[in-house]
Structure 1
């Protein structure tokens, strides 16, 4: 039987595998809605490490613009934990290690993410907030993946 942590980890890894395929241009463009946007709550909030706030329509426009723009991009997800669970809603933390991220500086970077996900049916991402990992953590970490 699957545990909640395994389900959350699978969801986080799966959505990031989609990001890689999308930015690499190795998935069909018609997969944006069924494989990604349908997973986001209409009022989703995304805050990247730079600190600006994006919502559903802004995320859709960003993904549409960046299809196939980053052929060497890779992500590895590490350290998935569940911090809180209230009913079907979980607050999860994980680290995301990126290689070749052309829209980030440095292009090899690492961030810690807090995500609020309703694991009910249908599953919905409600809130995502990323923060740069400190340089000493990135330096000590491995980008070999």
Structure 2
């Protein structure tokens, strides 16, 4: 399978899991095998608000959020490989959300940059999200 197909599947599958997790439609014991095990022990996640989160912080947030948002949905778009260096891949994609309970905008969108290591399974090393400008978000379809 080509690298773009692998990373696209990885990104979509992980975000599908996030939807299931926050909807409460997946068993709680799936957090480790379907999400946490894919993160490098030194992963850094920077959400659109700009603070730095570690894997322990992500785990805590997910533990607290299980089943908290029955209306939450995500759609991934525009997956693009920006750089490939050895087994490292820098990818960008847009993430569109509906029903995001903790976001000011219940319909929101962000562009994400991810550094991945092409292991089996793929390892997430660094994630940074930035809000899409209001005009782009407003123009984007939220019919998913």
The DSSP-based 3-state class of the residue aligned with 1:77 is: strand
The DSSP-based 3-state class of the residue aligned with 2:94 is: strand
Rounded Cα–Cα distance in structure 1 between residues aligned with 2:9 and 2:120: 16
Rounded Cα–Cα distance in structure 1 between residues aligned with 2:126 and 2:107: 24
Rounded Cα–Cα distance in structure 1 between residues aligned with 2:22 and 2:66: 5
Partner residue of 2:116?
117
Partner residue of 1:82?
81
Partner residue of 2:44?
45
Partner residue of 1:11?
10
Partner residue of 1:95?
94
Partner residue of 1:59?
58
* Unaligned 5+ runs, structure 1: none
Rounded Cα–Cα distance in structure 2 between residues aligned with 1:105 and 1:86: 37
Taking structure 2 as the reference length, the TM-score comes to 0.98
Partner residue of 1:35?
34
Partner residue of 2:133?
134
Taking structure 1 as the reference length, the TM-score comes to 0.97
Aligned residue pairs, count? 144
The DSSP-based 3-state class of the residue aligned with 1:19 is: helix
The DSSP-based 3-state class of the residue aligned with 1:114 is: strand
The DSSP-based 3-state class of the residue aligned with 2:12 is: helix
Which aligned segments of 4 or more residues in structure 1 are displaced greater than 6 angstroms?
none
Rounded Cα–Cα distance in structure 1 between residues aligned with 2:47 and 2:53: 9
Label 1:76 to 1:122 Cα distance change in 2 as closer, same or farther (>3 A).
Answer: closer
Rounded Cα–Cα distance in structure 1 between residues aligned with 2:4 and 2:43: 22
Rounded Cα–Cα distance in structure 2 between residues aligned with 1:144 and 1:20: 16
